[in-house]
A and B are shown apart, each in its own frame.
Chain A
């Protein structure tokens, strides 16, 4: 007697588990039972689990019977001619979907030639154990799993052409690569996913060598000539959005060039690019502070009294402008309505991004790095054939990471570029390395991919033979232009008078708790005080009662709120944060008093 569970609930028993399972599976393959049903037999627990619920991950496998795959050559030919489809194979019981539980009962052969009588299934293609991005990594079976997974993650950050109609869209944070290319070394997934419709990078010549130490620690060196010819050039698009919102009392926002009376009016110069409608015109060059969409809003917190008060009845400035460090060109202006019928203005900004020092690039194997130096092509090393590499990759990146795929792609790319064909690098089913080497040899190059190189600076021949080849390189979306940040003086927070936080607000770089500790550990006490002077203030403190007072500017005297004006007061230097804390103590009902003492 075997216990039977349906969707993990006990429903009864069957006399002989094995027979029951094989009968149901047969029925399913014949189509008598739903193809969505999976069942598994656990011999040790003597239990059968039948699952037909939602949310199970299932994968297709070719059925093997008596040591023979049911997917015959006939079927293969029919499939090629288009006479049958995938769904027909599933209907015919050639392919079935297994869930994770049923997989436990299956014995799956990797390749057709591995099949024995014990096998129950055959893998459709070994790469369907990977996801889309991972199967785009060529020669993945030659690299450690960690690197393959990094490589597949890097591709998600690569700048390419994510969609063809990007010019008609208003997506946030868009990067489009100029002149993207299809990889020379690709996997079958490139075909399946129509990779040529949304490529991610460019094929370039990579030399594995060092160059004056500027490619230490994963840095890469790029040929200035390649950049001038368009390598790694991309455009960054960002929309700015303004809406005419409606408020209670019939008040609305208004998209227009703000009047000078408006509260918070910037300078006339900031509005100079706006047309009569208050919207900027396309192809205008804009920089930090420029207004893109002029807008005014009704005053806030309008009480009944204020309606008669002219002074408060002034509209607020609420234009969209460029934040600190932003610049670009207005690409596209869209005036439309939103769902509620309010006027909606979207302005798309465009900014060309030319590779610069610090921009991040990667191959498809997790071999990421930032540009360390851009070398004029005259100074780049060159080969006997006169080939100047586009990129110099450090050889130290290879041994510890063991990304052999990186090296094979170099050879593969070289063969592909020389013979004018695509190289199949599909994981587990790729073209063989020795075939590629033979082909490279027959093309008149050294079979190991090395070439004699000359120093670009003085023309001397290099002692070592340099490994050089073609590779698909990706530009990642992490660019210096989006991240560079520094500050000397700048905006402060209203509450604490400490510097603001973050690049967008031109914030300071925090000297945190542990950094503070290092100053103390060095005994650099006075330096530490100076570093924390960003919010220092002079507070008049009453010598009598120890409370904080203030300086009455009109009467030019000090006032202690407790002892009134009679008190003797002294200025005390402290951080504004401390003053704030004392005020917060007061709100707790705790009176903090400062006992003053002569400093000397």
Chain B
């Protein structure tokens, strides 16, 4: 029996052999097992993509065709979701171009128990959110006589985040080095160190401390606790995955960002690849369209196979094509022709676009087979 399995192990993936092994009924003869394995092999071969099948083109068409229907629908769905999120075609373009800055960066922050059951969910959310001084202050008073600023804090908000006015004044003192910071009851008084400063300087100082970062994760501008199934999680607008994964109430194994570049930089290409697949699929799904994931997987593989994320742009994967004519047929043809002329590039006419150009059979499908003969002189 084991020999049989060994024999077939080289014919199809090992996990299929394992699956057959596990699911065998208790009493089987060797001949029956052989028959089963042969059937599995037959089906495996049948399921494989044929040589010369234009998988890339089929993937492009399969994503592109529903994409034409999407453009119209986009408008309706924008803004309905809990936060204002880029959806539809613009989002897909953004992902496939692998943009450095995306329109609406977001994170899905999963929490470790017991927080994921909803414990302190609001206060955790508030703690994550990047808070600036003006959000905590109810008033900035400028004292012209003393050349100082009195920051009247909103104690209710302060309590929500779990800070005291002392904590706030410490942060201000760190940030505004040219001034002295004092606590006066719940208020904070900021005074410039050097005397004889004009009112202008005081005003400038006020503007500076107004937008001073006080607490939370930098870059997270909005937070929204969401209940998904039995679990609570926090959706944020603005990303800072690196800081987020360091927090002890965050589950680092499941927390994700929708920024492909960020995921790639922090967690590696495989994470970036998964993000591309998930994000594209999410858009297509919420538009009510039906695209096989494998098409998207192929695109994601193509984007990531160099070890880093490359967009489908003339600077990304298109620039890596070996054929000059293929590159020139995409965008900026003159640039490619001139550069090729400078270094004397050779085009082997091995791929599809070049052969369409010169009107020769393209090397896929029926054009793949070639006749090999010996020419006798």
Which residues of B are found within 8 Å of A595, using beta-carbon distances?
346
Say yes or no: is A418 at the interface (Cβ < 8 Å to chain B).
Answer: no
User: B372 near A523 (CB under 8 angstroms)?
Assistant: no
Say yes or no: is B47 at the interface (Cβ < 8 Å to chain A).
Answer: no
| Chain A, Cβ-Cβ closest to B373 | A600
Which residues of A are found within 8 Å of B368, using beta-carbon distances?
523, 525
Which residues of A are found within 8 Å of B359, using beta-carbon distances?
529, 532-533, 535-536, 573-575, 578
Which residues of A are found within 8 Å of B93, using beta-carbon distances?
none
Which residues of B are found within 8 Å of A10, using beta-carbon distances?
none
| Chain B, Cβ-Cβ closest to A599 | B371
Which residues of A are found within 8 Å of B53, using beta-carbon distances?
523
Other-chain residue from B338, B357, B363 in contact with A578 (beta carbon distance below 8 A) = B357
Other-chain residue from A521, A574, A591 in contact with B58 (beta carbon distance below 8 A) = A521
Which residues of B are found within 8 Å of A573, using beta-carbon distances?
359-360
| Chain A, Cβ-Cβ closest to B357 | A578
Contact with B along A526-555 (1 / 0, CB 8 A): 111100110110000000000000000000
Contact with A along B154-180 (1 / 0, CB 8 A): 000000000000000000000000000
User: B371 near A575 (CB under 8 angstroms)?
Assistant: no
Among A526, A536, A591: residue with most chain B CB under 10 A = A526
Q: What separation, in Å, do the CA atoms of A25 and B375 have in the docked complex?
A: 102
Say yes or no: is A57 at the interface (Cβ < 8 Å to chain B).
Answer: no
User: B358 near A520 (CB under 8 angstroms)?
Assistant: no
User: B337 near A524 (CB under 8 angstroms)?
Assistant: no
Minimal beta-carbon separation of A22 from chain B (angstroms): 43
Q: A590-B338, A590-B341 are in contact. Are A528 and B358 (CB under 8 A)?
A: no
Say yes or no: is B367 at the interface (Cβ < 8 Å to chain A).
Answer: yes
Say yes or no: is A11 at the interface (Cβ < 8 Å to chain B).
Answer: no
Say yes or no: is A86 at the interface (Cβ < 8 Å to chain B).
Answer: no
Contact with A along B337-377 (1 / 0, CB 8 A): 11011000010000010001111111111111001110100
Other-chain residue from A521, A574, A598 in contact with B358 (beta carbon distance below 8 A) = A574
Contact with A along B312-352 (1 / 0, CB 8 A): 00000000000000000000001001101100001000001
Interface residue count for A (Cβ, 8 Å)?
Answer: 31
Say yes or no: is B54 at the interface (Cβ < 8 Å to chain A).
Answer: yes
Say yes or no: is B61 at the interface (Cβ < 8 Å to chain A).
Answer: yes
Q: What separation, in Å, do the CA atoms of A535 and B54 have in the docked complex?
A: 26
Which residues of B are found within 8 Å of A581, using beta-carbon distances?
357
Say yes or no: is A585 at the interface (Cβ < 8 Å to chain B).
Answer: yes
Q: What separation, in Å, do the CA atoms of A520 and B346 have in the docked complex?
A: 25
Say yes or no: is B90 at the interface (Cβ < 8 Å to chain A).
Answer: no
Say yes or no: is A194 at the interface (Cβ < 8 Å to chain B).
Answer: no
Say yes or no: is A588 at the interface (Cβ < 8 Å to chain B).
Answer: yes
Which chain A residues in 546-591 approach chain B with CB under 8 Å? 573-575, 577-578, 581, 585, 588-591
User: B366 near A524 (CB under 8 angstroms)?
Assistant: yes
Say yes or no: is B79 at the interface (Cβ < 8 Å to chain A).
Answer: no
Which residues of A are found within 8 Å of B341, using beta-carbon distances?
585, 589-591
User: A520 near B362 (CB under 8 angstroms)?
Assistant: yes
Q: A520-B54, A595-B346 are in contact. Are A529 and B337 (CB under 8 A)?
A: no
User: B57 near A520 (CB under 8 angstroms)?
Assistant: yes
Among B338, B352, B358: residue with most chain A CB under 10 A = B358
Minimal beta-carbon separation of A530 from chain B (angstroms): 9
Q: What separation, in Å, do the CA atoms of A532 and B53 have in the docked complex?
A: 21
Which residues of A are found within 8 Å of B371, using beta-carbon distances?
600
Minimal beta-carbon separation of B72 from chain A (angstroms): 15
Q: What separation, in Å, do the CA atoms of A341 and B4 have in the docked complex?
A: 102
Q: What separation, in Å, do the CA atoms of A520 and B367 have in the docked complex?
A: 10
Say yes or no: is A517 at the interface (Cβ < 8 Å to chain B).
Answer: yes
Which residues of B are found within 8 Å of A529, using beta-carbon distances?
359-362, 367
Say yes or no: is B268 at the interface (Cβ < 8 Å to chain A).
Answer: no
Which residues of A are found within 8 Å of B346, using beta-carbon distances?
595
Say yes or no: is B113 at the interface (Cβ < 8 Å to chain A).
Answer: no
Other-chain residue from A525, A535, A536 in contact with B361 (beta carbon distance below 8 A) = A525
User: B365 near A523 (CB under 8 angstroms)?
Assistant: yes
Q: What separation, in Å, do the CA atoms of A516 and B53 have in the docked complex?
A: 15
Which residues of B are found within 8 Å of A517, using beta-carbon distances?
57, 60-61
Among A525, A532, A533: residue with most chain B CB under 10 A = A525
Q: What separation, in Å, do the CA atoms of A533 and B352 have in the docked complex?
A: 16
Q: What separation, in Å, do the CA atoms of A591 and B337 have in the docked complex?
A: 10
| Chain B, Cβ-Cβ closest to A584 | B337
Q: What separation, in Å, do the CA atoms of A173 and B175 have in the docked complex?
A: 78
Other-chain residue from A528, A577, A591, A598 in contact with B362 (beta carbon distance below 8 A) = A528
Say yes or no: is A522 at the interface (Cβ < 8 Å to chain B).
Answer: yes
Q: A585-B337, A590-B341, A600-B372 are in contact. Are A522 and B365 (CB under 8 A)?
A: yes
User: B337 near A521 (CB under 8 angstroms)?
Assistant: no
Other-chain residue from A516, A525, A536, A600 in contact with B364 (beta carbon distance below 8 A) = A525
User: B356 near A532 (CB under 8 angstroms)?
Assistant: yes
Q: What separation, in Å, do the CA atoms of A96 and B357 have in the docked complex?
A: 69
User: B61 near A521 (CB under 8 angstroms)?
Assistant: yes
Q: A517-B61, A520-B57, A595-B346 are in contact. Are A526 and B337 (CB under 8 A)?
A: no
Which residues of B are found within 8 Å of A532, using beta-carbon distances?
356, 359
User: B358 near A523 (CB under 8 angstroms)?
Assistant: no
User: B356 near A516 (CB under 8 angstroms)?
Assistant: yes
Q: A517-B57, A600-B375 are in contact. Are A525 and B363 (CB under 8 A)?
A: yes
User: A523 near B337 (CB under 8 angstroms)?
Assistant: no
Q: What separation, in Å, do the CA atoms of A529 and B360 have in the docked complex?
A: 6
Which residues of A are found within 8 Å of B52, using beta-carbon distances?
523
| Chain A, Cβ-Cβ closest to B374 | A600
Q: A520-B365, A525-B363 are in contact. Are A575 and B58 (CB under 8 A)?
A: no
Which residues of A are found within 8 Å of B57, using beta-carbon distances?
517, 520-521
Q: A517-B57, A520-B54, A600-B372 are in contact. Are A525 and B362 (CB under 8 A)?
A: yes
User: B366 near A525 (CB under 8 angstroms)?
Assistant: yes
Minimal beta-carbon separation of A499 from chain B (angstroms): 14
Which residues of B are found within 8 Å of A535, using beta-carbon distances?
359
User: B61 near A598 (CB under 8 angstroms)?
Assistant: no
Q: What separation, in Å, do the CA atoms of A595 and B57 have in the docked complex?
A: 29
User: B358 near A575 (CB under 8 angstroms)?
Assistant: yes
Which residues of B are found within 8 Å of A521, using beta-carbon distances?
54, 57-58, 61
Which residues of A are found within 8 Å of B357, using beta-carbon distances?
575, 577-578, 581
Which residues of B are found within 8 Å of A575, using beta-carbon distances?
357-359
Q: What separation, in Å, do the CA atoms of A142 and B359 have in the docked complex?
A: 58
Minimal beta-carbon separation of A532 from chain B (angstroms): 5
Which residues of A are found within 8 Å of B352, using beta-carbon distances?
520
User: B356 near A528 (CB under 8 angstroms)?
Assistant: yes
Which residues of B are found within 8 Å of A520, using beta-carbon distances?
54, 57, 352, 362, 364-365
Q: A517-B57, A521-B54, A521-B61 are in contact. Are A526 and B367 (CB under 8 A)?
A: yes
Minimal beta-carbon separation of B49 from chain A (angstroms): 11
Minimal beta-carbon separation of B339 from chain A (angstroms): 10
| Chain B, Cβ-Cβ closest to A518 | B61
| Chain A, Cβ-Cβ closest to B328 | A581
Minimal beta-carbon separation of A540 from chain B (angstroms): 16
Q: What separation, in Å, do the CA atoms of A518 and B371 have in the docked complex?
A: 25
Minimal beta-carbon separation of A272 from chain B (angstroms): 43
| Chain B, Cβ-Cβ closest to A537 | B359
Which residues of B are found within 8 Å of A574, using beta-carbon distances?
358-360
User: A590 near B337 (CB under 8 angstroms)?
Assistant: yes
Which residues of B are found within 8 Å of A577, using beta-carbon distances?
357
Q: What separation, in Å, do the CA atoms of A128 and B366 have in the docked complex?
A: 66
| Chain B, Cβ-Cβ closest to A528 | B362
Minimal beta-carbon separation of B321 from chain A (angstroms): 16
Given A573-B359, A595-B346, 16 additional A-B pairs, CB 8 A: A518-B61, A520-B57, A521-B58, A523-B52, A525-B361, A525-B368, A529-B359, A529-B360, A532-B356, A535-B359, A574-B360, A577-B357, A585-B337, A588-B334, A589-B341, A590-B338
Interface residues, chain A, with chain B CB atoms under 8 Å away: 516-518, 520-529, 532-533, 535-536, 573-575, 577-578, 581, 585, 588-591, 595, 598, 600
Q: Identify the 7 closest CB pairs spanning chains A and B, nearest first.
A: A523-B365, A525-B367, A575-B359, A590-B341, A600-B373, A525-B361, A578-B358
Q: Can you list 11 pairs linking A and B with CB atoms under 8 Å apart?
A: A518-B61, A522-B365, A523-B52, A523-B54, A525-B364, A525-B366, A525-B368, A526-B361, A526-B366, A528-B361, A573-B360
